[in-house]
Amino acid sequence: MRYSSAVQAVNRRRPSVYAVKFAEHGAIAAYGLRGCGARLGAAIASVLAHRPLLPSSVTGGASNDSIVSVTVRDARRRPVFQTDTTELTAYAADVPLQQAGGLTARVTIRPHGVAILALGAVPGSRVSLLVGLLTLTAAMIGVTVTQLRREHELSRIRSDFISSVSHELRTPLSQILLFAETLNLGRVRSDEERHAATDVIVQEGRRLMHLVENILHFSRAEREMTRLGLEPIDLSVVVCSIVEDWRPLAAAADVRIETRLAPDVHAVADSSALRQMLLNLLDNAVKYGPTSGTVTVGTSANGTGARVWVEDEGQGIPPDERERVWSSYYRLERDAHSAVAGSGIGLYVVRELARLHGGSAWVEAATGGGARFVVEVPA
Applying CB under 8 A, which residues contact other proteins? Answer: 163, 167, 170-171, 173-179, 181-182, 185, 187-189, 193, 196-197, 200, 204, 252-254, 291, 337-339, 341
Rg of the chain in Å (alpha carbons):
29
d(CA 236, CA 265): 6
Please report how close the Cβ of residue 339 comes to other proteins at its closest, in angstroms: 5
Instruction: Give the nearest distance from C-beta 311 to other proteins in angstroms.
Output: 23
| Measured CA distances, 49 to 58, 62, 107, 141 (Å) | 17, 14, 16, 12
Tell me which DSSP letter residue 358 carries: T
To other proteins, the closest distance from the beta carbon of 107 in angstroms equals: 41
Supply the minimum distance, in Å, between the C-beta of residue 4 and other proteins. Answer: 28
DSSP 325: G
For the chain, counts of helices (H) and of strands (E): 10, 14
- Between 252 and 268, name the residue whose CB sits nearer to other proteins: 252
- The CA distances from residue 311 to 242, 267, 293, in Å, are 16, 21, 11
Residue nearer to other proteins on the CB measure, 74 or 313: 313
Q: How far is the CB of 245 from other proteins (least distance, A)?
A: 18
Q: Minimum distance between the CB of residue 252 and other proteins, rounded to whole angstroms?
A: 6
- Of 128 and 292, nearer to other proteins (C-beta) is 292
**81-110 burial, b for 16+ CB within 10 Å, e for fewer?**
bebeeeebbebbbebebebbbebbbbbbbb
**In 3D, which of 285, 276, 346 has the Cα closest to residue 316?**
285
Q: Which is nearer to other proteins, 174 or 272 (CB)?
A: 174
CB of 177 to other proteins, least distance (A): 5
Alpha helices in the chain (DSSP H): 37-50, 56-59, 64-67, 111-117, 126-184, 191-222, 235-252, 271-288, 333-336, 346-356
How many residues are there in the chain?
379
Exposed, middle or buried: residue 57 (CB in 10 Å: 0-12, 13-18, 19+)? Answer: exposed
Is the CB of 192 or the CB of 320 nearer to other proteins?
A: 192
- Beta strands across the sheet bearing 92-97: 79-82, 68-73, 103-109, 92-97
Residue with Cβ nearer other proteins (189 or 223): 189
Between 114 and 196, whose beta carbon lies closer to other proteins? 196
What is the nearest approach in angstroms of other proteins to the Cβ of residue 253? 7
Q: Return the number of the residue (5 or 184) whose C-beta is nearest other proteins.
A: 184
User: How many C-beta atoms lie closer than 10 Å to residue 306's C-beta?
Assistant: 25
CB of 215 to other proteins, least distance (A): 18
Closer to other proteins by CB, 58 or 341: give it: 341
